[in-house]
Chains A and B, each alone.
Chain A
Amino acid sequence: MPEKYHIPIKTAEPRHNTIGKYAIIEFREDCAGSCRECVKKKCIYGIFKENYMHLSTMNEPEYLYACHSCFRCVQECTKGIFSRVVNPEYRTLGNDYWKPDIIYKLWYQAHTGKVPVSGSGYRGPFVAAGFDSMWTDMSEIVRPTRDGIHGREYINTCFELSRRVSPLKFGDDMSLVSDVPPILENPIPLMLRLPDAFLSNKQIIISSAKAAQGLDTLLLLRPEDFSDALLPYARNLVPRLNGDNIMDHEDLILKSRAVELAFDSNIQETVRKVRDIKYDLVLIIGIPLDKNAASRAVELTHFDVDTLLFYADENGNELNAEHPRFLKEMIREVHLNLVNNFIRQKINLVFSGGIAMAEHMAKAIICGADGVIVDIPLLIALECRVCHRCRNGLSCPAKIDGKFDSEWGSQRMINLMGAWHNQLIEVMGAMGIREARRLRGEVGRSMWFEDLEMESFGPIFGKRKIAGLK
């Protein structure tokens, strides 16, 4: 049996009390005081712990935000002294894209490494912008994989970063005569990168590098972030260079399996220089995801490069556009442009920006990506609240600007990515897709809001009068 890809998940407790959604309010002045029916004692989740004792002995009520929303204390208190509100601190988490609910669930996954599972049905909007306007498909009866949930360990989530030679040429003795470049595969269709505009320090970098090693994936790093402390993880590091500084980092290029080069007008010359330093290097070109992205993809595919890495903004939006399109549409444009030029198989596409949940990874691949970059979620795994205080030079409320154990940090990141990997397998299993590579661009395994509306509602209601999602 070949060795299976395994992510070493281990519980990593949060360092701070988790910011819960709801706060229990207790009007203690109305408490009966010695009630034998005290609902605090009956809470089946035990959230009140010792806090049903006499007021004077009660601790600062940290339990307030651990409420599981059963409403029994609210409904059963003999004096009706309990109520609930949305925790105001919870509302302050993240922003319009990195919503509190996303951050809260990422914390849970970083803590436990488990797939979030819950009872009752879906609770969200019918459809929403971005990735929330598409659904993955599933196979009802006939499944190509014939695996089901018990065959999930046979689902392959690899993706390639190295270019392909096609067709391969063989000699008379059937030996390979084609010049085959080195093969670089990731067992999971994601790479790690620390977000530029966020806090970064030695612990965060070492944690990320350790996580990349634990996940057997790659961490993209600025050259100034490299240090001797990262030597044990060198195999999993990719320096991010540009045409101006490649000659200053010859040593990094020689040590690395892959290098990212920032796109510029001299990219062809830069590629040639890097190849001169180390020929068998996987070259990743970092390109802004803007209106020129699709045409640049075609142009660069003809160069001697392996992977194109497109950068959207941190919320997954097109760069430099008055009305930016979302990552989903941009991936389609780039992917289809390559398909239409019959060169899609020659290049690998990786997209960065706005990948906030496991489903985004699966949906990005369906849209045409080979893999994605995980950035902000790495910091969220360290309990970042996406408050952006660090951008203004202010202290971090999660204290990741101070010292912390990088073992803990890497485990949290590994847990989070482990949960994502499991979720990817869940949806791939449901789709009957056995390889992540086969999922790439497989829109036939997805359903899109606009198509479903047109197909199911068009014949009934006619033409849609409201464009977009409102």
Chain B
Amino acid sequence: MKKNNIQFQFPKAVKTPDRFRNPISKYTIRRNARCVSCGLCSELCPYGVHPRYDDYAKPLRPLDYKCIGFKCKENDFFCIDRCPEQALTLRRNPILDTLGDYRWTAEMLIGHWEMAETGNLPVVDLEYSLGNSGGGFDKIRFKIPNPDDYLNLPDTDMDTSVTLNKRGDGRPVRINAIPCYGGGMSYGSTALSVMISRAQAATLLNTLTCTGEGGYPDELIPYADHVITQIATGLFGVREETILHAPMVEFKYAQGAKPGLGGHLLGDKVTPEVAAMRETVVGNALFSPFPFHSVYSVEDHKKHVDWVKEINPKALVSVKVSTPTDVDMVAVGSYYAGAHVVHLDGSYGGTGAAPDIAKKNIAMPIEYAIPKVHNFLKEEGVRDKVCLIASGGIRNAMDVAKAIALGADGVVIGTAELVALECVRCGHCESGRGCARGIATTDHELGKIITQEWATQRIVNMYIAWRKQWCEILRQYGLKSIRELVGRSDLLVHLDYLDEEERSKYQPAPQAELII
């Protein structure tokens, strides 16, 4: 079976529950002392909020993360109203005030945890497609579709693939089955189990993931056909064999979260294994300089690209750049230097460690960069020859679709994959033992709280859920392939550019003052 287009058989979603005893939920259900354990709630609830065992009659704590909340009130099985003892109470979980931020709201996090668990879109009323940032993707909407355009096709007949090599240069064409691939996260920034599971998920989904700048552990070799080798300015872990393994090699010129600053791995995370892989000293902070000190012109850059192409005649070359004012010129220059993929990393992207001043203040958000580059490549007459990939602040399936409609061919996803593994975005990935949740850590004990199988399935599940959203968008506009969505900015509206009456037809941008 061909693995690279709509005939690709996507893996099945497998239920992969939360690792922790008490999942964080939007609603809380409390059972008080009036409960007589009659079992009615358990019989009534089709969502399984009230577990009960046949041979154990006492009431158990409700599984409130399964509760659909106040919208259940209209159902005749609404446990709160039906409880004969009035022993149940339903509330919005106050802990939501302390979870999430303007970009990744609490509901978006919980929604993605649910998608990662089930492979389906959440049944709870969660706003998982819009953040609270008040701009960019959060104010862009797809136009209200014309019902006559609806394409009545099943998901299996919808094409969500993206072609990475459009140059026609004799190198592999390389088609990913979904318009996303995994962003670079180095050995050292994340736990090994996370790194391997991302590669395994990429293999199952017929897409790619990226080593980041920290070497190529042997455990990745079974998935080598789906692992990008990243060459960044410190050249950590870059060897001839790791370039030979790779279907695509990514030159990282800059990272959106810290453009112009190079890489940074704090000393606490440089364990003996990490140091050995990077050929450095244990416990010493590692800096990747900025920029490549061998590249000060497009001609220098071309030498780099040629060097990789010479080493691996089958590899594609991606150039990852940040989003300065002249990002359009950089993109065209990269194309003429021989890049197959131009990867723009916007300023609100993720990172394992970055100065806060850099995350917020340097370079432009990806929403601005995509149309700027897309249009410039069109004007230069090379848009059809290069694959334009966007990243940096693309959080959910709708953001992906909006990025594509703005002009990207596909996107790179980093944070959302970690959210699927129950990242809470606490921001403490960078030092000490690293992530307390075992995701972005090199600590042996913490790294073991994630198993590879669990993590792989969670990531697969999330993308399967996302694909359902993409397919529905495509159907609404009568499109059969996500490639037809590329550059269709005519299908988008921005709330700030609409008259009041027109704006009222669309979902308003969420607004709340948050403590972050």
B440 adjacent to A119 (CB under 8 Å): yes
- For chain B, the count of residues having a C-beta within 8 Å of the partner chain is 111
**Known A135-B364, A140-B321: A126·B138 in contact at CB below 8 Å:** yes
Q: Decide: A44 and B355 in contact? CB cutoff 8 A.
A: no
The CA of A84 and the CA of B106, in the complex, are separated in Å by: 13
Residues of A within 8 A of B274 (CB): none
Q: How distant is the Cα of A105 from the Cα of B496 in the complex, in angstroms?
A: 32
B497 touches A447 (CB 8 A): no
Let me know if B361 and A140 touch, CB within 8 A.
no
Query: Is the beta-carbon distance between B368 and A122 smaller than 8 angstroms?
Result: no
Q: A143-B296, A459-B375 are in contact. Are A124 and B360 (CB under 8 A)?
A: yes
Are A140's CB and B428's CB within 8 A?
A: no
Specify the chain B residue showing the minimal Cβ separation from A84: B98
Interface segment out of the listed A144-152, A264-272, A396-404 = A144-152
Across the interface, which residues of B come within 8 angstroms of A139, CB to CB? Answer: 260, 291, 324
**B430 engages A447 (CB within 8 Å):** no
- Given A77-B22, A118-B354: A150 in contact with B103 (beta carbons within 8 A): no
Q: A70-B426, A120-B427, A135-B364 are in contact. Are A430 and B261 (CB under 8 A)?
A: yes
* Interface contact B424-A70, CB-CB below 8 Å: yes
Residue of B nearest to A86 (CB): B515
Question: What count of chain A residues pass the 8 Å CB interface test?
Answer: 81
Please, how many angstroms separate the alpha-carbon atoms of A71 and B23 in the complex?
Answer: 10
Interface-located stretch among B67-75, B310-318, B487-495 = B487-495
A426 beta carbon closer than 8 Å to chain B: yes
What DSSP secondary structure best describes chain B's contact surface?
Answer: loop
Contact flags B169-211 to A (C-beta < 8 A → 1, else 0)? 0000000000000000000000000000000000000000000
Are A141 and B516 neighbours in the complex by a CB distance under 8 Å? no
* Residue-wise interface mask of A (418-433) relative to B, using a CB-CB cutoff of 8 A (1 in contact, 0 not): 0000010011011110
> Across the two chains, which residue of chain A brings its CB closest to B298?
A141
* Interface-located stretch among A6-14, A198-206, A337-345, A461-469: A461-469
User: Which B residues, 291 to 306, have Cβ-Cβ distances below 8 Å to chain A?
Assistant: 291-293, 295-298, 300-301
Q: Are B356 and A148 in contact (CB under 8 A)?
A: no
CB-defined contacts of A143 to chain B, threshold 8 Å:
291, 296
Does residue A329 face the partner (Cβ distance < 8 Å to B)? no
**Complex contact A85–B355 (CB within 8 A):** no
Q: Which residues of B213-235 have CB atoms within 8 Å of chain A's CB atoms?
A: 233
Q: Any chain B CB within 8 A of the CB of A72? A: yes
- Least CB distance, B500 to chain A, in whole angstroms: 8
The answer to whether A118 touches B296 (Cβ under 8 A) is no
User: CB of B61 within 8 A of chain A?
Assistant: yes
- Interface of B with A (CB < 8 Å)? 18, 20-24, 61, 94-95, 97-99, 101-104, 132-136, 138-139, 233, 253-254, 257, 259-262, 264, 266, 287, 289-293, 295-298, 300-301, 321-322, 324-327, 330, 333, 347-365, 367-369, 371-372, 375, 392-393, 406, 415, 423-433, 435-437, 440, 446, 489, 492-500, 503, 515-516
Given contacts A121-B257, A126-B133, A457-B371, 7 further A-B contacts (CB under 8 A): A68-B426, A119-B440, A121-B393, A140-B291, A146-B293, A430-B290, A457-B368
Which 4 pairs of residues, A with B, have the shortest CB-CB distance? A430-B260, A126-B135, A119-B429, A70-B436
A-B contact pairs, 21 of them (CB 8 A): A69-B98, A78-B21, A80-B22, A86-B98, A105-B356, A115-B356, A118-B356, A118-B430, A127-B135, A138-B362, A140-B253, A141-B295, A141-B300, A141-B301, A148-B262, A359-B361, A362-B361, A363-B361, A430-B259, A457-B494, A470-B496
